Amino acid sequence: MDLRAGVRADVQTGAHGVMTTSALRPSRLPELDLRTPTSLEELTGSLAAGWRACGGGTDVLIEALQAGEPTHLVSTTGVHELAQLTCDADGISIGGSVVLARLVRSTSFRSGIAAVADGAQTIGSIQLRNQATLVGNLCSASPAADTTELLASVAEAAAGACSPITDHRCSADYRRQLVHVLTLEVIDEAMRRAGRDDNSDPRVQQGKQR
């Protein structure tokens, strides 16, 4: 199946010599082959043959757009077993094709893993959440689609990204540590404004005590 959505623009000259286009601009996506299996057996067979799994496609299509590959995709959306979301006393099971929007809407999922539900709700737009999957997010491991609220890592990243100076007031190391603490303070305040008890999350308090 050819997934290229773009077609060659048909340029015409209007009555007043104005150039007009009658079609969409060409897409830069390579020609893609897509399989849509309806059973796990078909899906795993394609994966064994080297085809790339595709859930919502929000990451893999961008990858194909930028790198020109992968060009052989196998969709997980037609496999019934991978569309299941189960939340019960035995735990929570999330199928590979369960989209983020479904997790956000699920009361039982939110009550079971509130942090992941909150993270899913911050990803992109409504349209993106209706397409993107949590399992695809984990497989791609893109920081832009991170669905896990990792406070210490955020503070450490902020401290590592800054370039403080040393002068007569204080050292660069002290300023770097200050960035770490202030980042946690900002997160702490954001949680308070969201109606949460700051002291309920020990990660914030532990980070401040570093």
Tell me: pLDDT of 26 over 50.
no
**Mean pLDDT for the stretch of residues 19-38:** 67
Tell me: pLDDT of 23 over 60.
no
- Residue 99 maps to which CATH number? 3.30.465.10
Residue 99 · residue 121 · CB < 8 Å: no
**Mean pLDDT for the stretch of residues 45-57:** 91
| Higher pLDDT among residues 171 and 197, named by residue | 171
> Looking at the structure, do residues 71 and 16 belong to the same domain, yes or no?
yes
Rounded CA-CA distance 29/3 in Å is 8
**Mean pLDDT for the stretch of residues 103-122:** 85
Average per-residue pLDDT for the chain: 77
Strand partners, 21: 11
| Higher pLDDT among residues 186 and 206, named by residue | 186
Tell me: pLDDT of 176 over 70.
yes
Q: How many domains does the chain have?
A: 3
> Looking at the structure, do residues 131 and 162 belong to the same domain, yes or no?
no
pLDDT at 63: 82
pLDDT at 21: 38
Residue 162 belongs to what domain range? 151-208
Our CA angle for 103, 106, 111, nearest 5°, is 100
| Higher pLDDT among residues 119 and 52, named by residue | 52
> Looking at the structure, do residues 91 and 71 belong to the same domain, yes or no?
no
Strand partners, 93: 86
The pTM score is 0.54
**Mean pLDDT for the stretch of residues 2-8:** 39
Tell me: pLDDT of 207 over 70.
no
- Residue in 151, 179, 175 with CA at minimum distance from that of residue 165: 175
- The answer to whether position 34 is within a domain reads yes
> Looking at the structure, do residues 70 and 17 belong to the same domain, yes or no?
yes
- The answer to whether position 136 is within a domain reads yes
> Looking at the structure, do residues 130 and 169 belong to the same domain, yes or no?
no
Residue 9 · residue 25 · CB < 8 Å: yes
Tell me: pLDDT of 196 over 70.
no
- The answer to whether position 49 is within a domain reads yes
Tell me: pLDDT of 91 over 60.
yes
